A and B are shown apart, each in its own frame.
Chain A
Amino acid sequence: MSEVLVLIEHSEGNIKKVSLELLAMAAGIGEPSAVFVGPGADAAIATLGDHGAKTVYVADGQAFLDHVVVPTVDVLAKLVAEKSPAAVLIPSSADGKEIAGRLAVAIDSGVITDAVAVSADVVATQNVFGGATIVHSRVSKGTPVITVRTNSIAPVQSGGSATRVDVAAEVSAAAGATKVVNRVSVQKSGRPDLSEAAIVVSGGRGVGSDEGFASVIEPLADSLGAAVGASRAATDAGWYPHQFQVGQTGKTVSPQLYVANGISGAIQHRAGMQTSKTVVVVNKDADAPIFDLADFGVVGDLHSVVPDLTARVNARK
């Protein structure tokens, strides 16, 4: 059975959930091999093996922290040449897509981004135009390079173990062309990451103010352990930071539960959330198009319904 390379996304060895999901997806195509670049592999190998990786290729070194994207591409290109895998699966993050794009150029192969499923014969399913159209596509030249969205498949704990294979990492001229001189962390809210969260609580024009986000939307999100999102109307008004915008020009999310509060549901917004598994809507306007997506909707004032709901969820704990 052919190997399927899975690029593991991690933060100093803490494996991101999407990486384990990709191992489960790879198992449906061939034999999953994890590719772990940067420091922290020692702690990760057992977890990767337990989630289906038969081999973990490890390329450690400062290079992966010092330079943007390219060192990882160099490692993947080398592994593709040596192992002739059936496919390369990469998380659909900003870095992941750039890695996929450069890798495709390096190995002269086709690339598909934002897949939500990949079949045994490497046909990818994508939800394009914000989920309005479902596309099946395949790579017709070279080794398929496919980026896969978070929450596309559940991780599978197989109880297996993986063999570690170290790969030499050299800094190519292209990799050395950029230098990361400083890493700056902005304060984290303690909430889950918007694009990975299982539950997203969002607010729109109906929230009315930044104060509305702080006193109504965030408490509901925290009661549910959810990430907070916002519509473009809300971020353009300055009520909530732009990086939390869900929509055509913001983030695309596909959580188990999406709670839309005071959001009308313009295409601009729907394009970022309509593949959510379950949608709950609170909106004053019974004609708002967002109700077309609702599994459960309440026509009412979010400023009374949402705090009541928050209290109820908290009371159940």
Chain B
Amino acid sequence: MKICVCVKQVPDSWAEKKLTASDSTLDRAAADRVVNELDEYAVEEALRIVEAGEGEVTILSMGPDEAADSVRKAISMGAHAGIHISDPALHGSDALATSLVLAKALEGRGFDLIMFGSESTDARMSVVPAMVSARLGLPQMTFANKVEVSGSNLTIHRVTDYGYDEVQSSLPAVVSVVEKTNEPRYPSFKNIMAAKKAPMETLSLADIGLDAATVGLANAWSEVKDFAERPAKAKGTVITDEGNGAEKIEEFLVTQKFI
């Protein structure tokens, strides 16, 4: 079983995030950079599948030079190898370009499972796994909170608003997992040391056979016209409860016609 987990380096979800004034892209320096939290569930799930049978887990990430840290971090959970796609021309790439790059990098490598977290905590689009599935022509087995591999068959529980759908496909397939699918492990000391020596491929666009004119900010399929910080909300009324707190809220809700 060969599994590739795609991870994204994102600003810490507990920090304020900003856009860069000059080109409206994410200000990556404004907050600590971490592995997208939801991707850790995908790494954990991949490790469990391999540990229950046999195989290897590879971590793939597209991002600037610093994203190599996130690949190593993800490997240190117990994965075996990393692929980092880094190229100055990728700056400002949108989801369509990202999915193109990932699909191109994955092509022909013979992975049985390609796994993702269901969304990134910065852009929160939730579209890249579906796009990669479309580009590679592989079954889209997304929003899973349960993943079961049996021989060359895959069954997932796809989370829905009424509960879940039990969905089946053959392998290879593209899987995304939702938050709380499992409990991601902390890297052990042994695995942190092993991650430093794990094989890591660093690839440019040319290495994966993509023309720089297909990606990046200038070639994106959509563009930011302008952006602004939300104006601070006008200060509301705050009172201290002296036994009349509920009565005051009731009055407020009445004036606002909620009750």
Contacts and interface: CB of A to CB of B under 8 A. Distances in A.
Interface of A: 11, 68-70, 73, 93-94, 97-98, 100-102, 104-106, 108-114, 123, 127-129, 131-142, 173-174, 177-186, 188, 193, 199, 224, 242-243, 248-250, 252, 256-257, 266-268, 271, 274, 278-282, 286, 291-301, 304-306, 308-309, 311-313, 316
Interface of B: 13-19, 24, 37-38, 94-96, 99, 118, 121-122, 124-131, 133-135, 137-143, 155, 157-170, 173, 179-180, 220-230, 232-233, 235-241, 245-250, 252-253, 256, 258-259
Contacts of B164: 184, 186
B238 to A, nearest CB: 4
Contact of B245 (A106, A111, A308): A308
A178 B225 contact: no
A129 B17 contact: yes
A178 B169 contact: yes
A60 B125 CA distance: 28
A118 B220 CA distance: 20
Given A102-B131, A104-B221, A113 B238 contact: no
B241 A177 contact: no
Given A184-B163, A278-B256, A309 B250 contact: yes
Contacts of A295: 236-237, 252, 256
A311 to B, nearest CB: 8
Contact of B253 (A68, A123, A280): A280
A134 B228 contact: yes
Contact of B221 (A69, A110, A181, A299): A110
Contacts of A199: 258
Contacts of A114: 124-125
A300 B127 contact: no
A127 B228 CA distance: 10
Contact of A291 (B122, B238, B250): B238
Nearest 4 Cβ contacts at the A-B interface: A300-B241, A101-B127, A110-B221, A308-B246
Contacts of A308: 245-247
Looking at chain A's contact residues, is the secondary structure mostly helix, strand, loop, or mixed? mixed
Contact of A312 (B168, B173, B246): B246
Contacts of A266: 14
Given A109-B221, A133-B19, A137-B225, A94 B159 contact: yes
Given A104-B96, A110-B220, A249 B38 contact: yes
Contacts of A312: 246-247, 250
B228 A133 contact: yes
B229 A133 contact: yes
Nearest to B228: A134
A90 B137 CA distance: 23
A314 to B, nearest CB: 10
Contacts of B241: 298-301, 304-305
A250 B250 CA distance: 29
Nearest to B126: A97
A74 to B, nearest CB: 11
B165 A182 contact: yes
A292 B237 contact: no
Contacts of B140: 68-70, 98, 102, 177-178
Given A69-B140, A178-B139, A294-B238, A142 B227 contact: no
Nearest to A299: B240
B131 A101 contact: yes
A69 B130 contact: yes
A140 B223 contact: yes
A133 B18 contact: yes
Contact of A297 (B17, B139, B237): B237
Contacts of A309: 245-246, 249-250
B124 A305 contact: no
Contacts of A108: 221
A173 B240 CA distance: 63
Contacts of B138: 177
A271 B13 CA distance: 9
B13 A286 contact: no
